[in-house]
Amino acid sequence: MFVDGARCFVYSPLLGRTYFLPLDLAASRALPPLLGLRASGHRDSLVDPAEQITLVGNAETTVEVGWLLRWLYVIFHRHRTLLSINRAMRLSHCLTRFAPKHPGWVPEDVGDVVMAVERSVGISDCYPRALVTAYLCMTARLSCEVTVGILSPTAKMHAWCSTDGAIPYEPRAEHWFYSPLIVFGFS
């Protein structure tokens, strides 16, 4: 929840949407369970787990990506209303059982692959980028956090994935302008 005057932005992890609600409605006891929020997860403010960006924008990569990563990126991009972050991460977790493992990878390796995926599909979007980054972190046995933030006072949102305090890849370093609404941790 991000407060802006007499109204606040509330992010629903269940529905994958943000709502601009009056404070009394957002503070009611009935609304959080409907949006998939637990009282134990409420924080007055969230700290961005990312401290740096490992790879930004124009770097060259020669990584070849397979069909699975391209397919995941496109599915996450086209079906974000059906594949909320929790559902997408459950799918990713299931797929990691069959995917090749990369135990020696570091965030720079993950960033190279994510950049290659975006270039191969011809789409650059934060939501599938964050989810594919989290998937690759899972295959590399790196813990990660997917953060969804809001650019207040607008309703513009941005998602990013960080591991060990670093975002493996961002085309532009714009996420610093966003206030975190929710942080999902995965290991």
Instruction: Provide the 10 A C-beta neighbour count for residue 132.
Output: 27
CB distance 21 to 134 below 8 Å: no
Q: Is residue 44 over pLDDT 90?
A: no
pTM: 0.76
3-state per-residue secondary structure call for 30-50: CHHHHHCCCHHHCCCCCCCCC
Give every CB contact of residue 131 below 8 A, 6+ residues apart in sequence: 72, 76, 83, 85, 88, 89, 92, 146, 159, 161
The pLDDT tens digits of the residues spanning 77-106 come to 998 878 778 788 888 888 888 777 777 788
For residues 58 and 55, give the distance between their C-alpha atoms in angstroms, rounded to a whole number.
9
Instruction: Sketch the domain layout of the chain as residue ranges.
Output: 2-41, 52-186
